[in-house]
Chains A and B, each alone.
Chain A
Amino acid sequence: MESLTALGQGFAVALTLTNLLYALAGTAIGTLVGVLPGIGPALTIALLLPLTYGLEPSSTLIMFAGIYYGAMYGGSTTSILLKTPGEAGSIITAIDGNKMARSGRGAAALATAAIGSFVAGALATAALAVAAPAIVGIAVKLGPHDYLALMVMAFLTVSALLGRSVLRGLVSLAVGLVIGLIGIDFQSGQARLDFGLVRLLDGIDVVLVIVGLFAIGEVLYVAAHQTGAAFSIARFSGRMMSREDWRRSWKPWLRGTAIGFPMGTIPSGGSEIPTFLSYSLERKLSKHPEEFGQGAIEGVAGPEAANNANAAGVLVPLLTLGIPTSATAAVILVAFQQYGIQPGPQLLTTQAALVWGLIASLFVGNVMLLLLNLPLVRVWVKILQIPKPYLYAGIALFALLGAYTLNGSVFDVWVMAVIGLLGYVMRRFGIPVTPLIIGAILGPLAELQLRRALDISAGDLGILVSSPFSITVYVLLVVAIVLPRVLARRTAARARVDAAA
């Protein structure tokens, strides 16, 4: 098999001593930062971007692979012990995980999350290695109008499926699209929305948007509305997994993987839906559905596996089509773009060593994380002892540092401050931030495809729905918006009823 040989070469890249060290550094830093409350994987990667400015592309991406998976692991630790998920995919884990921790089974909850993440990560990365070349085979045949259809799908599914309000998702998307417009038009050279500021001609860097929304927005939100200056941490206690825990965990791990990966590969909007689906499936299959919401280990094992498998699945559209479908994928896309690499169907041929090195590093990082996390979880938990004021002041300081080092310009610090205020307002009024990020990064790419398509058709809008592929996508889009919403509503409603009971 061709992809097997390519993957072998990828391992040859990933297993050099230097790159192993970068992978180790990435996993360690990723876990370290991911454990910090309120910092999800997207913000972790965005904050750590400055660390890689001096590195070469392959080492950078290998480090990112480690940071990505590390941040996912670290995030589940925080959800379980602190009940501060920090991102949509961990909300479900926090319900039963935190209950387990509070009833003295924290170690078992963390172990099933870690091992489940490992199993899901390994299987889903393998699926990624198989799926990516297959999808590239299709992707190279697509025209600009087909890409536009996929991007419209990404826009609408991300906006409509995240959060509880479609309307607020669309508001967020609209603001993101506007941010994406700022700067010089790539085709005509016209300045758009620059308000006479020279600094705005290059557009607003997506890293500023992400770090501003997540970090500054959150620090403002917590400062304005915190109820106490300390976290309430569940003690890390109890034994690791018992034989019974293993017996109850392994099937949810596999089922979670089976749900999470495919839902990541289609532009279906984040990890919230697959984790909800996994949770409701496990409860349906369980002999003790009444335990769900009270600390059922299946309710941690399944969604955690789904969350991690989803994280690997998201890389499929990112690497093969250049379409990010989560905030984290958007940050990885930015990292690629910083080296002048535009992910898309050509990436696997033009940058084969890079991509397969990345995929191989995901395998390596996954193993490292298991080794790093199971014995060292007590060390990571110590990080949660950092007093809350220092933690948030530190987050703000690193965000501001990142803003400045981006271009060595204070103007970017001001931009981040404004975006941070926007982030506060969005949190306060329940407007999800991911659609904004997707809009800001994917908007310019969608415009490019739209104008290419219309240049081909000499301005005839009919070209947009001229191929079977684009028509299929638009039809699926309608189905995709209606169906999971119904499912998620049912699941969410039930989960909430349970949590209340």
Chain B
Amino acid sequence: MTADGGAHAATPESRPAPAGQGRRRVAWGELVLGLAVLALGVVVLLDARSLPASTSASGIGAGFFPTVVAVFTMAVAVALILHVLLGGRGDPDEGEGDVDVAVLHVRAALVVLAAIAWYALALERLGYVPTALVTFWAIAYALGARRYVRDFLISAALAVVIYVGFTQGLSIRLPAGLLEGVL
């Protein structure tokens, strides 16, 4: 995950400094992002070149459009890299309220990621209810919930309600896992 690695490695450097000051420093995060996009363009180009030639009327096959996309991607990536090197910065999203990129909770973000990974790993092994329970509990914890018993009860109730509602109410299959035959 180049993009992710870049974000984590670079966040401390790219804190928005007060106007004027810091603008001259290199924004590593965005630079890595630009390089990642450039790499993406190269991958697409190599993949497009590896496709066999076309047999269609136009002589244009599966590789033509990807080549166009690859060139476009590399061009905007280079433009972004130059832009960042010349001091350009993106404005972090402010649409959500109560968010400030000068504050960084690395652990909270990692807990969220771990909770998602847990969901993917455990879902078909343990079943929906225990998996979702832990996922909700962990993400709520990451975002600041600290009334553990109440958090647990709500997680459990939500997981059961979703499971029953989807499997019984909407006939959408979810893995039963440990609770096979119980719910």
CB of A216 within 8 A of CB of B116, answer yes
Q: How far is the CB of B138 from chain A (nearest CB, A)?
A: 8
CB of B93 within 8 A of CB of A181, answer no
CB of A425 within 8 A of CB of B112, answer no
Q: How far is the CB of B154 from chain A (nearest CB, A)?
A: 6
CB of B69 within 8 A of CB of A226, answer no
Choose, from A4-12, A47-55, A240-248, A360-368, the stretch at the interface: A47-55
CB of A405 within 8 A of CB of B172, answer yes
Q: Which of B14, B64, B172 has the most CB of A within 10 A?
A: B172
Confirm or deny: B26 has a beta carbon within 8 angstroms of a beta carbon on chain A: no
CB of A224 within 8 A of CB of B105, answer yes
Given A219-B139, A223-B112, A387-B145, decide whether A428 and B47 contact each other with a Cβ distance below 8 A.
no
Q: How far is the CB of A381 from chain B (nearest CB, A)?
A: 16
Query: What total count of A-B pairs have CB within 8 Å?
Result: 267
B124 CB contacts on chain A under 8 angstroms: 410
B1 CB contacts on chain A under 8 angstroms: 418, 421
CB of B144 within 8 A of CB of A232, answer no
B:124-183 near A, CB below 8 Å: 124, 132, 135-137, 139-145, 151, 154-155, 158, 162, 166, 170-174
B:102-119 near A, CB below 8 Å: 103-106, 108-109, 111-113, 115-117, 119
Q: How far is the CB of B44 from chain A (nearest CB, A)?
A: 6
CB of A178 within 8 A of CB of B40, answer yes
Ordered by A's residue number, 14 sampled pairs between the chains whose C-beta atoms are within 8 Å are: A54-B171, A167-B88, A170-B79, A174-B73, A188-B52, A188-B61, A226-B99, A389-B140, A396-B112, A405-B172, A410-B120, A421-B4, A427-B93, A451-B56
Confirm or deny: A185 has a beta carbon within 8 angstroms of a beta carbon on chain B: yes
CB of A178 within 8 A of CB of B96, answer no
- 4 tightest A-B contacts by CB? A430-B90, A229-B144, A389-B145, A84-B97
Confirm or deny: A408 has a beta carbon within 8 angstroms of a beta carbon on chain B: yes
Confirm or deny: A482 has a beta carbon within 8 angstroms of a beta carbon on chain B: no
Q: Which residue of B lies closest to A398 (CB)?
A: B162
Confirm or deny: B51 has a beta carbon within 8 angstroms of a beta carbon on chain A: yes
Contact flags A449-463 to B (C-beta < 8 A → 1, else 0): 011001101110000
Q: How far is the CB of A230 from chain B (nearest CB, A)?
A: 8
Report the Cα distance A430→B174, complex, angstroms.
Answer: 37
CB of B136 within 8 A of CB of A394, answer yes
Confirm or deny: A291 has a beta carbon within 8 angstroms of a beta carbon on chain B: no
Candidates B7, B60, B140; contact of A425 at CB < 8 Å: B7
Confirm or deny: A422 has a beta carbon within 8 angstroms of a beta carbon on chain B: yes
B14 CB contacts on chain A under 8 angstroms: 429
CB of A226 within 8 A of CB of B93, answer no
CB of B91 within 8 A of CB of A164, answer yes
Interface size on B, residues (CB 8 A): 90
Q: Which residue of B lies closest to A232 (CB)?
A: B98
Confirm or deny: B33 has a beta carbon within 8 angstroms of a beta carbon on chain A: yes
Confirm or deny: A83 has a beta carbon within 8 angstroms of a beta carbon on chain B: yes
Candidates B109, B113, B172; contact of A417 at CB < 8 Å: B113
CB of B99 within 8 A of CB of A225, answer yes
Contact flags B8-41 to A (C-beta < 8 A → 1, else 0): 0001001000000000000001100100010011
Given A223-B111, A227-B98, decide whether A393 and B116 contact each other with a Cβ distance below 8 A.
no
Choose, from A85-93, A109-117, A466-474, the stretch at the interface: A85-93
CB of A171 within 8 A of CB of B123, answer no
Candidates B80, B101, B108; contact of A168 at CB < 8 Å: B80
Q: Which of B1, B30, B92, B144 has the most CB of A within 10 A?
A: B144
Report the Cα distance A165→B48, complex, angstroms.
Answer: 29
Q: How far is the CB of B88 from chain A (nearest CB, A)?
A: 8
CB of B37 within 8 A of CB of A175, answer yes
Confirm or deny: A392 has a beta carbon within 8 angstroms of a beta carbon on chain B: yes
Give the size category of A's interface with B.
35 or more
A451 CB contacts on chain B under 8 angstroms: 56, 58, 60, 64-65
A223 CB contacts on chain B under 8 angstroms: 105, 108-109, 111-112, 139, 142-143
Q: Which of B29, B136, B142, B162 has the most CB of A within 10 A?
A: B142
Candidates B92, B103, B117, B144; contact of A427 at CB < 8 Å: B92
CB of A404 within 8 A of CB of B123, answer yes
Given A187-B62, A224-B104, A389-B140, decide whether A167 and B83 contact each other with a Cβ distance below 8 A.
yes
Candidates B98, B106, B140, B170; contact of A54 at CB < 8 Å: B170
CB of A428 within 8 A of CB of B92, answer yes
Report the Cα distance A422→B158, complex, angstroms.
Answer: 28
Q: How far is the CB of A362 from chain B (nearest CB, A)?
A: 25
Report the Cα distance A50→B83, complex, angstroms.
Answer: 41
Q: How far is the CB of B50 from chain A (nearest CB, A)?
A: 9
Confirm or deny: A38 has a beta carbon within 8 angstroms of a beta carbon on chain B: yes
Report the Cα distance A177→B92, complex, angstroms.
Answer: 23
Contact flags A35-76 to B (C-beta < 8 A → 1, else 0): 001100000000000110110000000000000000000000
Q: How far is the CB of A59 from chain B (nearest CB, A)?
A: 13
B93 CB contacts on chain A under 8 angstroms: 221, 427-428, 430
A:399-421 near B, CB below 8 Å: 400-401, 404-405, 408, 410, 413-414, 417-418, 420-421
A429 CB contacts on chain B under 8 angstroms: 14, 29-30, 33, 90, 92
CB of A231 within 8 A of CB of B98, answer yes
14 new A-B contacts, CB < 8 A, other than A393-B143, A430-B89, are: A51-B170, A167-B79, A168-B80, A170-B76, A174-B37, A174-B76, A181-B66, A192-B51, A192-B62, A220-B112, A222-B99, A229-B143, A389-B142, A389-B145
